[in-house]
Amino acid sequence: MSSPSPTYLDTHLALEQIGDTDAMNGMLAMLQESLTRDIPLVAQLLGNGQIVEANRVLHALKGFVPIFCVESLCAHVVQVEAQSKDSQSTTIGAAYAALKPELEGLLEEVNAHLQQVDSGV
């Protein structure tokens, strides 16, 4: 049975921008590491009212998601990152709560892609 098409990860776009499959897979492993660390980190920082620190993480994310992701997710990251520059913690907390499941979905798709690579599929 084939796996469903990814919703957030766009490997054709990533390959076009990065240039070769090995380099792309290497960068997807970095993305996996970053998302695993940063998705809960942003929630934690926002929970502590550390909005400037949360913005710093979201800003980095905004820079590299367009390498790997569909436009709708990139646009959502841009929107939440902009809100984190000057919002109250409750507003940005709600905005990030809406983005977080999408980032988690992206991480699941990256995990699935890398598992396929590891198994030689």
Partner 1 sequence: MDIKRARVLVVEDEKIMSTFIMGNLRRLGILDLFAVENGAVALREVPTIKPDLILTDVHMQPMGGIEFVRKLRASAHSQLANIPVIFLSADSSASTVGEALPLGVAGYLVKPPNLTALNTKIELALNPPAAPKAR
| Partners of 9 in the β-ladder | 69
Q: Which stretch binds partner 1 (CB under 8 A): 15-23, 44-52, 99-107, 113-121?
A: 15-23
Where do we find the tokens 């400037």?
Answer: 52
Surface-to-core class of residue 2, CB atoms within 10 Å of its CB (0-12 exposed, 13-18 middle, 19+ buried)? exposed
Spatial CB neighbours of 19, under 8 Å, sequence gap ≥ 6:
none
Q: Mask: binding to partner 1, 58-87, rule CB under 8 A, as x and -?
A: -xx-xxx-xx--------------------
Is position 23 an interface residue for partner 1 (rule: CB under 8 A)? yes
Which residues in this chain contact partner 1 in the complex, by CB under 8 A? Answer: 17-19, 23, 26-27, 30-31, 34, 56, 59-60, 62-64, 66-67
